[in-house]
Structure 1
Amino acid sequence: MADAAHPVAAPERDFGVYIHVPFCAVRCGYCDFNTYAPGEGEFSSRDDYVGAALAEMGTARRAMAGDPRPARTVFFGGGTPTMLDPAALVAMLDGVRDTWGLTADAEVTTEANPDSVTRESLTMLAQAGFTRVSFGMQSAVPHVLATLERTHRPENVGRAVTWAREAGLAVSLDLIYGTPGESLADWHASLDAAIALEPDHISAYALVIEPGTRMGRQLKRGEIEAVDLDTQADMYEAADERLAAAGFAWYEVSNWAREPGQRCRHNVAYWTSQDWWGVGPGAHSYLGPRTDADGTEHGAERWWNVKLPRAYAARLAAGEDPAAEREPLTASDLALESVMLRLRLVDGMPVADLPEPRPGQIASLVADGVLDGRAAIAGVLRLTLRGRLLADAAVRLLT
């Protein structure tokens, strides 16, 4: 692990903290995240987890000694962070304060399931410095929630949003479209229900059925049928149309906010290659090019922790580095990743920032309606609505 004599991050970049809480009440059939339900072999105690997370922050304090940047964003993800007692989440946020400090305007988000919070727990989080909650709504249609194996009832979402508003928290809702058996009418109903709750922010993600998940095995056995790509495209276009009519503006391919100030600053930091430290089993971290105290320059680096909670806790208890692997990143790596990430944003990216000139490819993408032609003439690569559906293909052509 790095110490005070090792690289510290460049102060001109923002710094954020991600805290991975790997616990869920049940494992949803589509989930391939690093999460563990009760009874699964690597479900370490929640108390042990909190202690391990705080211990990792201690190693981070030593690794980043000399770097004065406080965290501008903190994001508790998972899993279901609100499965932990709110006092545990507050303790970890206090750990962030003690390790790095927080900016005066810090955005502090926790993900939550609608049935994993109470009025009291949300109030406690708000009083401790949390500013935002992102609820996993996913759908407002019971049969779609059942297919996704979500445990909450649709009416729980409105109740949770009300409690969050009373606590003074900004509210985001996460939706999933393209669930097997979900019709376009079902998706419209979910969009309308989410909009009616008047959140500040909505995310909408196409369901990807991964082979190793329970849903993937059901698909392979023919027990369910995947929604075709054309229908998923129709669902995305319906989301953009309905959300725009309700006053939401897209700022990233899968994210819409009522106002620029209500965008998720933590995720924007990922897409714009800011620095972050990921705490917890399986969490990823990234520090860009940085300099030693003696002036020695070092390149960018990414690393990720061991995935299993027990192994993560055991390493930290033994005073060992929890990182499973580290990856140095070249200037070429960073340039390619920048295209992949920035092109997804509403502001797009300057043509001049491409790793290599691509005039022919740009012209082709404009002709195909993937890139905005006027923006391209002005030197900016910006996706059209059609382009958002084909963003990955556009990146491949441009890199």
Structure 2
Amino acid sequence: MPSALPIADPAPLDGRLPESAAAGADARNFGVYIHVPFCRVRCGYCDFNTYTAEELRGVKRTDYAGQAMTEVGLASAVLERAGIPERPVSTVFFGGGTPTMLPVTDLAAMLASVVTTWGLADGAEVTTEANPDSVDASYLRSLAAAGFTRVSFGMQSAVPRVLATLERTHDPERIPLVVRWAREAGLQVSLDLIYGTPGESLDDWRRSLEQAIAQEPDHLSAYSLIVEDGTKLARQIRRGEVAEPDGDLQADMYELADGMLGTAGYEWYEVSNWARGDGFRSRHNLAYWQGHDWWGIGPGAHSHVGGVRWWNVKHPAAYAERILAGDSPAAGRETLDEETRRVEEVLLATRIREGLPVDRLTASGRTAVAGLIGDGLVEGAAALRGSIELTLRGRLLADAVVRRLLD
């Protein structure tokens, strides 16, 4: 089952935000994340807030779009009451779960409610995640007609036995088809890969990279498999049924990915993400790493506005109950103090290519920079220009770099 919600302060039933949330809002972009919590099957490694039909406890998927649209209206009222100036939406991201399990008309209606409420900024990015077996050419054309600009396919691997270990349901032979259909519809294409699956070899990973690169996607994400407590995979490892991921092999896989993607013309812009140039980066995800504002719609969705962070109740039944009662679905929240915001800036900004301004570090953090350069973790020339930028080795040890910068 999905992991538990964080422990924090109670959230007010009307969703009101403190006045402090409005400070500096004009300088921040505003994005919307819409969580669609439905999946046909639960993959053994996944601890995302998703539910199969058997787990919905009487909730109907057909009601979901209307509930999400109601939360959009609540969000608008909360932001207005907080004195936050109206800002057109820069990015919209439908994630899950499998958003494309819903009829395309439902996704179009939810997007239209966002556009009607706030408007879209010029050149706004509108993305949905999709499983390769959850869409066809007609569905993708309808997405583009509704205003979507981008689709992110969960490819994960090109090796059938690796997909089987991950309990992914699609045939890898379908990847070229859905990529072609998306391009014909005028959508940008991103592919998501996972490396380090138990039993996956370096040659298996090379094959997946070759197959992904052959599709010439605009963007590619590669995430190391993390075994999350409470998942089926964690239980299988604990019982000795499958091997635990090998950290050294995962490092080799990351280096292989970076080398092959670089040769193919992709540039890394965040530790786990590569694009064919700045224009194809995921601007929605960059907004998270850069500390902009976003409102998360749906069960378990997280939001952040002006240093206030909150998250919704997790189960679709609890979410529907709150929405139908006219209450905020927020389960808890926290208001970040300046020191916490600075620490999070260090944590997040070091992960992106442009890096972290040195002047955002404390005196002890600045003192640590020379040692990080000496250890080959931080680019020396960039540090002299005033920016902490990770080397390839530094990306592999990003958490350790952050700890040293914050000590």
Q: Settle same-fold status: TM greater than 0.5.
A: yes
Distance change >3 Å, CA 128–CA 355, structure 1 → 2 = farther
- Structure 2 counterpart of 1:309: 316
Matched, 1:102 2:120: yes
**Cα RMSD for the two superposed structures:** 1.4
In the alignment, is the contact (CA less than 8 A) between 1:336 and 1:355 conserved in 2? Answer: no
Distance in 2, Cα, partners of 1:390 & 1:178: 16
> What amino acid is aligned across from residue 218 of structure 2 in structure 1?
D
> What amino acid is aligned across from residue 53 of structure 1 in structure 2?
A
**Match of residue 25, structure 1, among 36, 40, 47:** 40
> What amino acid is aligned across from residue 174 of structure 1 in structure 2?
D
Which shows bigger deviation, 8-17 or 178-187? Answer: 8-17
Identity of aligned residues (%): 60
**Match of residue 193, structure 1, among 211, 215, 238:** 211
Runs of 4+ in 1 over 6 A off after TM superposition: none
Distance in 1, Cα, partners of 2:290 & 2:16: 27
* Matching of residues 118-197 of structure 1 within 5 Å: 118-197=136-215
**Match of residue 379, structure 2, among 372, 375, 383:** 372
**Match of residue 277, structure 1, among 284, 289, 295:** 295
**Match of residue 61, structure 2, among 43, 46, 52:** 46
SS in 2 for 1:39: helix
**Match of residue 345, structure 1, among 336, 349, 352:** 352
Distance in 2, Cα, partners of 1:179 & 1:62: 45
Residue by residue over 1:216-256, the C-alpha shift from the partner in whole angstroms, topping out at 9 and shown as x without a partner, is: 00000000002311100000000000000000000000000
| CA drift at 1:27 | 0.3
In the alignment, is the contact (CA less than 8 A) between 1:37 and 1:43 conserved in 2? Answer: no
SS in 2 for 1:374: helix
In the alignment, is the contact (CA less than 8 A) between 2:15 and 2:330 conserved in 1? Answer: no
Distance change >3 Å, CA 391–CA 4, structure 1 → 2 = closer
Matched, 1:223 2:230: no
| CA drift at 1:363 | 1.6
> What amino acid is aligned across from residue 205 of structure 1 in structure 2?
Y
> What amino acid is aligned across from residue 368 of structure 2 in structure 1?
Q
In the alignment, is the contact (CA less than 8 A) between 2:299 and 2:314 conserved in 1? Answer: yes
- Structure 2 counterpart of 1:329: 336
Distance in 2, Cα, partners of 1:258 & 1:21: 28
SS in 1 for 2:352: coil
In the alignment, is the contact (CA less than 8 A) between 2:225 and 2:245 conserved in 1? Answer: no
- Structure 2 counterpart of 1:318: 325
SS in 1 for 2:382: helix
Which shows bigger deviation, 58-67 or 155-164? Answer: 58-67
| CA drift at 1:321 | 1.3
Structure 2 unmatched runs, 5+: 1-13
| CA drift at 1:61 | 1.4
Residue by residue over 1:88-117, the C-alpha shift from the partner in whole angstroms, topping out at 9 and shown as x without a partner, is: 000000010122111121100000000000
In the alignment, is the contact (CA less than 8 A) between 1:113 and 1:137 conserved in 2? Answer: yes
| CA drift at 1:78 | 0.3
In the alignment, is the contact (CA less than 8 A) between 2:130 and 2:152 conserved in 1? Answer: yes
> What amino acid is aligned across from residue 51 of structure 2 in structure 1?
Y
What count of residue pairs does the alignment treat as equivalent? 388
Distance in 1, Cα, partners of 2:242 & 2:27: 50
Distance in 2, Cα, partners of 1:326 & 1:355: 28
SS in 2 for 1:277: strand
SS in 1 for 2:38: coil
| CA drift at 1:357 | 3.9
Distance change >3 Å, CA 356–CA 306, structure 1 → 2 = farther
- Structure 1 counterpart of 2:8: none
Distance in 1, Cα, partners of 2:90 & 2:366: 38
Distance in 2, Cα, partners of 1:253 & 1:161: 24
Distance change >3 Å, CA 4–CA 189, structure 1 → 2 = closer
**Match of residue 396, structure 1, among 397, 403, 406:** 403
| CA drift at 1:211 | 2.1
**TM score, norm. by length of structure 2:** 0.93
| CA drift at 1:360 | 3.3
- Structure 2 counterpart of 1:11: 26
- Structure 2 counterpart of 1:296: none
SS in 1 for 2:291: coil
In the alignment, is the contact (CA less than 8 A) between 1:134 and 1:174 conserved in 2? Answer: yes
| CA drift at 1:355 | 4.2
**Match of residue 246, structure 1, among 238, 249, 264:** 264
> What amino acid is aligned across from residue 48 of structure 2 in structure 1?
F
**Match of residue 80, structure 1, among 98, 105, 113:** 98
